[in-house]
Copies of this chain bind each other. A is one copy, B any other.
């Protein structure tokens, strides 16, 4: 098993970061414009990109503290993995500890997704700090895999 880990800090409240993780509008403004579904625990969120997408079941959502998803549809390597956001306050910053856990093998696609998650988390930071993120299809291109 292998995990992707990231840490960012945004000068915004934990409540604002939590809203960006638990509303369709928030998610659409930093990850992908094509977001819909039910962001409440037990619901399923659908994220679509030019090359495909992911369906996430919301396993847990603790206001201003934690969001946990399980991947229920998408690329084979992602199915059954978990995506976790833990929030905490440090001074003027809300810290996001991100973990995409349960990859069976460190395949090349995992290397790609790790870098891509970093750029999307920087998009989340920008959204909550400035009001404007860089969601797909206007996301940062990192390679030939987009």
Give the B-binding residues of A (Cβ under 8 A). Answer: 2-10, 90-93, 95, 97-99, 106, 108, 110-112, 114-115, 118-119, 121-122, 125, 140, 142-145
Contact = CB atoms under 8 A, between A and B. Distances in A.
Which of A108, A115, A121, A140 has the most CB atoms of chain B within a 10 A radius of its CB?
A115
B4 A114 contact: yes
Nearest to A2: B3
Work out how many copies of this chain go into the complex: 2
A106 B3 contact: yes
Given A5-B4, A5-B110, A122 B125 contact: no
6 contacts: A2-B2, A5-B106, A8-B142, A97-B111, A115-B118, A122-B140
B143 A9 contact: yes
A1 to B, nearest CB: 10
A142 B8 CA distance: 5
B111 A6 contact: yes
Contacts of A92: 144
A144 B110 contact: no
A90 B108 CA distance: 14
Contacts of A99: 111
Contacts of A5: 2, 4, 106, 110-111, 114
A84 to B, nearest CB: 11
